[in-house]
Amino acid sequence: MKRFLYLLLTALVIISALSVTACAVENVSYISYNTGSNSNNGLTDSTPKQSLGTASGNGAFSLIKDGGTMVACGKIYVGDNYTWNASGETVITAVYGGEDYKNTSPATNPASGVIKIKPDCTLTVESDLTLDNIILFQESAKTTIRVANGATLTVTDTVVSMTSSGHYMQIVVESGSAAVINGGIFDSVSGDGNITIGAKATVKADAAEETPSVSGPVAYISYNTGKNTNDGLTDSTPKQGLGTTDGSGVAGILKKGGTLVVCGKLYIGTDYAWSLAGAATVTANYGSTDYKNTEPASNPASGVLKMKPGATLTVASDLTFDDIILFQENSQCTVIVTSGATLTVNESVITMSNQGEYMKIIVTEGSTAIINGGTFASVSGEGNIVIGEKATVLGQADNNVTEEFEVVRETTVCYLDYANGNNSNDGTSADKAVKSYVNGVFKRVAVGGTVVVSGNSYIGGTGANNEYSMPTLPKPLTFTSVYGGVDYKASASFRFNPNTTFIISSDVIFDDIVLLEDEGQTTIRVKNGATLTVTDKAVLKSSSGSHYKIIVDEGAIALLSEEAQKKFTVTGEGTVITYTEGSGDILSNYLGGKRVVELTIGSNVAYINGVANNLDAAPINRNNRTMLPVRFLANAFGITDDGIKWDASTRTATLSNESVTIVVTIDAPAMTVNGQTVALDSPAVIENNRTYLPVRAIANALGVLDDNITWDASTNTATLIK
pLDDT tens figures, 614-636 = 676 788 887 777 787 777 778 77
Instruction: Point out the least confidently predicted range of 6-20, 41-55, 356-370, 440-454.
Output: 6-20
Q: What is the pLDDT of residue 575?
A: 79
209, 234, 252 — which closes off a domain? 209
- Print the domain residue range for 484: 2-23+418-587
Q: By the 8 A CB rule, do 689 and 651 touch?
A: no
Reported in sequence order, the residue ranges of 80-155 that DSSP labels E, i.e. its strands, are: 82-84, 90-93, 95-96, 99-100, 114-117, 122-125, 129-132, 135-138, 144-147, 152-155
Query: Is residue 185 domain-shared with residue 233, that is, in the same domain?
Result: no
Residue type, 689: N
**Residue 337 and residue 343: Cα distance in Å, rounded?**
7
Please indicate, yes or no, if residue 412 is contained in any of the structural domains.
no
Residue 300 near residue 284 (C-beta atoms within 8 A): no
Specify the higher pLDDT residue, 54 or 625.
Answer: 54
Sequence-distant (≥ 6) Cβ neighbours of residue 66 within 8 angstroms? 26, 27, 86, 87, 88
Share of the chain above pLDDT 70, in %: 87
- Strand stretches in 277-412, DSSP E: 280-283, 285-286, 289-290, 304-307, 312-315, 319-322, 325-328, 334-337, 342-345, 350-353, 360-363, 368-371, 375-376, 378-380, 384-387, 392-393
Cα–Cα distance, 687 to 617 (Å, whole number): 10
Task: Answer yes or no: do 251 and 305 share one domain.
Answer: yes
455 is a domain residue: yes
Measured on CA atoms in the order 344, 346, 351, 356, is the torsion positive or negative?
Answer: positive
Give the pLDDT band of residue 594 (cuts 50, 70, 90): low
Task: Say whether both 469 and 581 belong to one domain.
Answer: yes
Which pLDDT band holds residue 76 (cuts at 50, 70, 90)?
A: very high
Q: Distance between CA atoms of 532 and 560, rounded to whole angstroms?
A: 8
pLDDT of residue 18: 36
**Domain end: 149, 179, 209, which one?**
209
Is residue 722 within 8 Å of residue 594, measured between CB atoms?
yes
Q: Nearest CA to 240 among 217, 132, 345, 231? A: 231
pLDDT value of residue 611: 55
Is 25 within 8 Å of 67 (Cβ atoms)? no
DSSP state of 499: T
CA 523, chain centre distance (Å): 24
**Residue 139 Cα distances to 102, 114, 117, 165, angstroms:** 17, 12, 8, 6
Amino acid found at 302: S
C-alpha 643/C-alpha 661 separation (Å) is 9
DSSP 3-state percent helix, strand, coil across the chain (nearest 5): 10, 40, 50
658 located within any domain: yes
Comparing CA positions, the residue from 137, 123, 103 lying closest to residue 52 is 123
Those residues whose C-beta lies under 8 Å from the C-beta of residue 469, and which sit 6 or more positions away, are 503, 505
**Statement to judge: residues 524 and 488 lie in one domain:** yes
Q: Are residues 611 and 541 in the same domain?
A: no
Instruction: Determine the average pLDDT of the residues in 216-242.
Output: 89
pLDDT over 50 (residue 583): no
Number of structural domains (the chain) is: 4
What distances in angstroms separate CA 533 from CA 4, 51, 497, 650, one per listed residue? Answer: 13, 45, 21, 53
Whether 258 and 185 map to the same domain: the answer is no
Residue 296, preceding peptide bond in cis (omega within 30° of 0)? yes
Q: Per-residue pLDDT for 342 more than 80?
A: yes
Is the confidence at residue 2, as pLDDT, over 70? Answer: no
C-alpha of 449 from chain center: 13
Give the closest residue to 291 by CA, choosing from 239, 393, 220, 201: 220
- Phi, psi of 63, deg, nearest 5: -80, -20
Residue 531 lies in a domain: yes
Task: Specify which of 2-11, 213-222, 541-550, 615-624 reaches the highest per-range mean pLDDT.
Answer: 541-550
The answer to whether residue 352 sits within a structural domain is yes
Shared domain for 465 and 519, answered yes or no, is: yes
Distance of CA 415 to the CA centre of its chain: 18
The predicted model scores a pTM of 0.34
Q: What one-character-per-residue DSSP string does 545-585 give?
A: S---EEEE-TT-EEEEEHHHHHHSEEESSSEEEEE-TTHHH
pLDDT confidence of 399, banded at 50, 70, 90? very low
Q: Is residue 413 part of a domain?
A: no
Predicted pLDDT at 94: 94
Same domain, 269 and 249: yes
| CATH of residue 636 | 3.30.457.10
Q: Is residue 539 part of a domain?
A: yes
Question: Buried b / exposed e across 232-267, counting CB within 10 Å, b at 16+?
Answer: beebeebbbbbbeeeebbbbbbbbebbbbbbbbbbb
Does pLDDT of 507 surpass 90? no
pLDDT digits (tens, 9 = 90+) for 472-501: 766 678 899 998 789 999 989 888 877 888
Percentage of residues in the chain having pLDDT higher than 90 = 22
Mean pLDDT of 453-469: 83
Residue 222 has, within 13 A of its CA and on its CB side, a CA count of 22
Q: What is the predicted pLDDT for the residue at 579?
A: 72
Read off the pLDDT of each residue in 176-183 and give the average, rounded to a whole number.
Answer: 88
Same domain, 143 and 240: no
Among 13-27, 35-49, 61-75, 358-372, the least confident range: 13-27
Residue 209: the pLDDT is 33
Given a cut of 50, is residue 646 above it in pLDDT? Answer: yes
Task: Give CA–CA dist 644/330, Å, rounded.
Answer: 34
CA separation, residue 414 to residues 16, 55, 91, 388, 431 (Å): 17, 31, 22, 17, 11
- Domain co-membership, 559 together with 504: yes
CA atoms within 13 Å, Cβ hemisphere of 388 = 17
Q: Is the pLDDT of residue 29 over 80?
A: yes
Whether pLDDT at 216 is above 70: no
pLDDT, mean of residues 590-607: 67
Model pLDDT, residue 26: 60
Residue 582, pLDDT score: 42
In a domain, residue 279? The reply is yes
- Average pLDDT over the chain reads 81
Contacts for 460 with CB less than 8 Å, ≥ 6 apart: 24, 25, 26, 27, 28, 466, 468, 496, 497, 500
CA 483/CA 411 separation, integer angstroms = 13
Helices assigned H by DSSP within 192-236: 205-209
Of 59, 39, 4, 27, the residue nearest 498 (C-alpha):
27
Residue 348 shares a structural domain with residue 471: no
Mean pLDDT score, 414-436: 87
Domain endpoint, select from 143, 174, 209: 209
Q: pLDDT at residue 270 above 60?
A: yes
Same domain, 540 and 400: no
